[in-house]
């Protein structure tokens, strides 16, 4: 979200309205649940502090502790945000003021969309596909090109998914939560995709149970998740892009997900580890650090002290000066990707499992 210049006069009233709303929500409190003393995945009490992270994208106030289970390796936010807290930190990320920024990123992600689809190659064309956590619907739009005739149904809490329906990117769209949606759509789909969705749910176990209910026997679930065991997670610390703080509540090692899928009635048919890596760790960490430390690009309504023209000028100059270093980071990412994709240490993993 980079912008320069002053807000137009016509936008001052809207800015004051948004600022008042953010201030009201911040003063309401009740952002966190009580801290838990046991792992929400396996129940073990051997948990340890992993890292303290911040909102390095929008720079909304607050810090968030991530703990790790010594028994199963599960990484989780502790204390965890309440629904009120999540609503505060997710506002204007994918919609509102963040709509155009997210859309620009999604448009550049088409190669990743096509790699996901290739994991389902060789299977009969699905008649009905459900994409959960669909955001703006870009993945469905790309999938329709490869799967003409497949009906795409999308779920996302943001109203942006309704725009995708109006654009023709999806055939049906709802903001209904998956667990509620499953009760009215038993065995209604051949494929369910969960692309960076389970990390942001309060109970991945319940979400997978809902997926099992909406899938027909022999149906397929396609899952993509952050890999908490990526070496870059420790190398880049709080500026590791994939923390996605504070939205990511749970980061599950791939073997934990495979075990849960089997417990839920699935048969794991494919696990993609290094090949699922996205070659941007060093570049993204540098951009994330610059965004966090430099004056804001605009006087965002959630900031207590919005930056002025001098700060925005300083930001623009710093970004220009950082250009060569950013270019070097990108080249390094692309070179290292050739090694990482042959191993297991990527920043992302994908799983395909079949409903038994």
Model pLDDT for residues 86-95, shown as the tens digit of each residue: 999 999 999 9
Would you state the pLDDT for residue 304? 79
CATH code linked to domain 113-237+254-275+348-355 = 3.40.50.150
Count of beta carbons in the 10 Å neighbourhood of residue 27: 7
**CA-based end-to-end distance of the chain:** 44
Model pLDDT for residues 168-212, shown as the tens digit of each residue: 999 999 999 999 999 999 999 999 999 999 999 999 999 999 999
Would you state the pLDDT for residue 5? 39
Element (H, E) at 187: none
Model pLDDT for residues 74-86, shown as the tens digit of each residue: 999 999 999 999 9
As a whole number of angstroms, the distance between CA 157 and CA 134 comes to: 9
Q: Is 180 helix (H, G, I), strand (E, B) or coil?
A: helix
Extract the tokens encoding 99.
């709509």
């Amino acid at each position: 979200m980079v912008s320069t210049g002053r807000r137009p006069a016509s936008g001052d009233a809207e800015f004051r309205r948004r600022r008042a709303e953010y201030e009201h929500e911040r003063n309401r409190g009740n952002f966190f649940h009580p801290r838990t003393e046991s792992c929400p995945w396996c129940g073990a009490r051997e948990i340890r502090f992993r890292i303290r992270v911040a909102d390095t994208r929008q720079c909304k106030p607050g810090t968030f502790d991530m703990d790790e289970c010594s028994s199963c390796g599960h990484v989780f936010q502790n204390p965890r945000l309440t629904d009120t807290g999540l609503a505060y930190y997710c506002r204007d990320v994918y919609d509102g003021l963040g709509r155009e920024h997210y859309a620009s990123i999604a448009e550049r992600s088409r190669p990743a969309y096509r790699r996901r689809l290739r994991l389902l190659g060789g299977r009969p064309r699905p008649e009905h596909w459900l994409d959960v956590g669909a955001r703006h619907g870009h993945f469905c739009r790309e999938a329709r090109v490869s799967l003409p005739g497949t009906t795409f149904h999308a779920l996302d809490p943001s109203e942006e998914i309704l725009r995708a329906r109006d654009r023709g990117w999806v055939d049906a769209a709802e903001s209904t939560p998956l667990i509620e949606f499953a009760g009215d759509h038993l065995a209604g789909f051949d494929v369910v995709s969960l692309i960076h969705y389970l990390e942001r749910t309060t109970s991945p176990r319940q979400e997978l149970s809902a997926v099992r209910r909406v899938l027909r026997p022999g149906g397929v679930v396609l899952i993509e998740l952050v890999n908490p065991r990526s070496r870059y997670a420790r190398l880049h610390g709080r500026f590791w892009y994939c923390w996605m703080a504070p939205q990511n509540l749970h980061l599950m090692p791939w073997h934990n997900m495979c075990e849960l899928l089997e417990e839920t009635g699935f048969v794991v048919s494919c696990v993609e580890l290094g090949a699922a890596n996205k070659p941007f760790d060093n570049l993204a960490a540098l951009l994330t650090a610059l965004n966090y430390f430099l004056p804001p690009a605009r006087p965002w309504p959630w900031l207590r002290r919005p930056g002025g023209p001098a700060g925005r000028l300083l930001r623009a100059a710093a970004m220009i000066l950082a250009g060569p270093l950013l270019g070097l980071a990108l080249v390094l990412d692309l070179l290292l990707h050739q090694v990482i994709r042959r191993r297991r240490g990527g920043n992302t993993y994908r799983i395909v499992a079949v409903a038994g």
